[in-house]
A and B are shown apart, each in its own frame.
Chain A
């Protein structure tokens, strides 16, 4: 029981990364009907930007002899790097996706893959092959509740990601922009005729998705403080799986499926040898998709795609 709860906590932490990244995939899908395959690498860029911002802030506090507590720097880092990374997302939309809006979907997928490779290699060329380590902004404090070890970082990660998801939910449900996005995902063709420009909504979607990915990147680097240019590849693909599992274009589904994927992975490691993780996890996903071919909340709309 104690082990179960411990694994539960770990799965919550692991799942929140997947959920935050999967949200970006799902949002872009619901607007543009295509998956942004560069998203995993935007996550990587986000954590590098977070690294840069955190280091710069730490340097400034030392230079001006104005010691700020670690959590203040962390809050500033998260906000600033989410803001900066959202511009990366908008740039990618402008360069890679806008010219291809009427092209076959597979071409856009290839473009996304290639932008991802360029981001990875560009990073490698700019910063070199050595791995950077994220500055430890807050000290780890371990609480033990009923035999279950909690750290303040785990609580922070789960809490911040849940807060981000709630903020996104409120934004989409309550704000005018969110309403426009929902309308756009409801009908891609008619809504532009109603005076809502797709050229404003699509960059906004990319910006929000990239911001969430950057948030996930910083939280990830808090837990695993080693940055390398290929950290986004596997995480990105798995989050893509989560986005599909949740039902394409379904925001709630993506968040839920991210957590489900985290749970499946952590618990399969707990029960079986750790090398079997991928076999078990993907077999379960295959099974779920065979029973529910459209994911948790996906609508079985026409099988005819804009391919």
Chain B
């Protein structure tokens, strides 16, 4: 019996090893091309294949929703996944390995900037085609990207600086309300502010400015938390930030000109997929540069020992205030994007529930790591969507998963790693 288990285990590990061997020499570029091919296949023949496999329509989220609703569809969904996703990805990635490697060598010689832009362009193209199938996918993608921004910005404060800040939904609310007020006031005809001041055609171009304004307001709000953090840290700071969250929520509920507890609605539809993608990419880029800069090293020093950091000539006050404002700025931007995706915000959506969600994404993915934040945000979002047919039990499965991660990897799945774009894009041939 025991020998049998060991044999099967070695067979499995052999298979995994073989798979790794065959995929090791495939660069990121080829994977992106493969995914592009998969998305294109689905775009053109997805309907026909799902019809022949007996599926009611194209499985939106890799068939998870369909399988959980009607287990009868499992073989059909498996076949669909194999034909549409796995086969094109593997074939294109294998076949395109040589040219992709040569191209990657070329790109590696040039500037990192151009190489990154090319990779991101391919990635975006694949996402765009993939999301074009249904509005549901589009919404899910946008919300996931916003979640990535939120998690990353919280990681700067909770992970790199080692504080336990609970006020992120508050910053998000500040950004969301500021950006919504600006767009509604300037570009939209609505019942709160009346007719638009500027031509609505300008709106999509000036929308980034509105987002930045939202971020700046959130950053100014963060000063309120940053100043007490000079004197205390840990639990007291957690309470101060929690109190800040409650205060922001309660103040917004009492401000009649932004709609009070009813919230604001009918924001113009400016958060298109490219806009949100751009926001996410710039967030990842800037945050990654921030945490690898001298300031980022100072942050880690403060986390490990504040006194020693101060003795080593780290200006702790400046570092703390800048970091809080930086994290809050991105939370504000995420809030602005969020408000224009759902086109409705009310104070209730920035409460304890949201806080628990963001914290879950952060600690699932891993502290002190940009990769971890991205993984955490994406996987928690996709999980909670994929398990939607289970209704209530979703809220038992996801917390259990998180508890298991905490028990076996207390700092998260991919903690304390550096996100190196060059290494990611390097040629492998």
A residues with a Cβ closer than 8 A to B are 35, 96, 99-100, 103-104, 106-111, 113-115, 117-118, 120-122, 124-125, 233-234, 237, 240-241, 244-245, 248, 275-279, 282-283, 285-286, 289-290, 293-295, 303-305, 307
Check if B196 is an interface residue, CB within 8 A of chain A.
no
Contact A99 B306 (CB under 8 A): no
* Bound complex: CA A184 to CA B231 (Å): 27
- Residue pair B235, A100 in contact (C-beta under 8 Å): no
Q: Which residues of B contact A117 (CB under 8 A)?
A: 356, 395, 399
Q: Is the pair A121, B239 in contact by a Cβ cutoff of 8 Å?
A: no
- B235, B240, B360, B400: the one contacting A118 at CB < 8 Å is B400
With both beta carbons as reference points, the residue of chain A lying nearest to B227 in the complex is identified as A290
Do residues B158 and A106 form an inter-chain contact, with CB atoms below 8 A? yes
Q: List 8 A-B pairs, Cβ < 8 Å.
A: A106-B164, A114-B399, A114-B406, A118-B395, A233-B352, A278-B249, A279-B247, A282-B246
State which residues 233-253 of B face A: CB under 8 Å: 233-236, 238-240, 242-244, 246-247, 249-251, 253
Assuming the contacts A106-B164, A276-B250, asked whether A100 and B234 have C-beta atoms less than 8 A apart, the reply is: no
User: For the complex, is B202 an interface residue (Cβ under 8 Å from A)?
Assistant: no
Q: Which residues of B contact A115 (CB under 8 A)?
A: 399, 403
Chain A residues positioned under 8 Å from B363 (CB to CB): 106-107, 110
Task: Tell whether B254 is near chain A: CB-to-CB under 8 Å.
Answer: yes
Question: Of all chain A residues, which has the CB nearest B232?
Answer: A293
Check A125 against B392 for contact (C-beta < 8 Å): yes
What is the number of residues of chain B that contact chain A, defined by CB distance less than 8 Å? 45
How far does the Cβ of A199 sit from chain B's closest Cβ, in whole Å? 17
Taking a contact as CB atoms under 8 Å apart, the answer to whether A241 and B243 are in contact is: yes
Contacts of B410 in A (CB 8 A): 100, 103-104, 107
10 A-B pairs with the lowest CB-CB distances in the bound complex, closest first: A103-B410, A114-B399, A278-B250, A121-B395, A282-B243, A107-B410, A293-B232, A244-B239, A279-B250, A305-B234
Contact B396 A122 (CB under 8 A): yes
Q: Is the CB of A35 within 8 A of B235?
A: yes
On whether the beta carbons of A303 and B234 are closer than 8 Å, the reply is yes
Minimum CB–CB distance for B53 against chain A, Å = 34
Report the Cα distance A279→B170, complex, angstroms: 13
Question: Which residues from B are CB-within-8-Å of A282?
Answer: 243-244, 246-247, 250
Q: Are the C-beta atoms of A99 and B236 separated by less than 8 Å?
A: no
Structural contact, B406 and A113, CB atoms closer than 8 A: no
Structural contact, B359 and A241, CB atoms closer than 8 A: no
List 19 additional contacts besides A278-B246, A286-B240, A303-B233; criterion CB under 8 Å. A106-B367, A107-B363, A110-B360, A111-B402, A111-B407, A113-B359, A114-B399, A121-B393, A121-B395, A121-B399, A237-B352, A248-B235, A275-B250, A278-B247, A285-B239, A286-B244, A286-B247, A289-B240, A307-B234
| CA of A115 to CA of B360, assembled, Å | 12
Contact of B403 among A111, A233, A286 (CB under 8 A): A111
The chain B residue with its CB closest to the CB of A284 is B243
Complex Cα distance A106/B352, Å?
17
| Cβ contact of A113, chosen from B158, B303, B356, B400, cutoff 8 A | B356
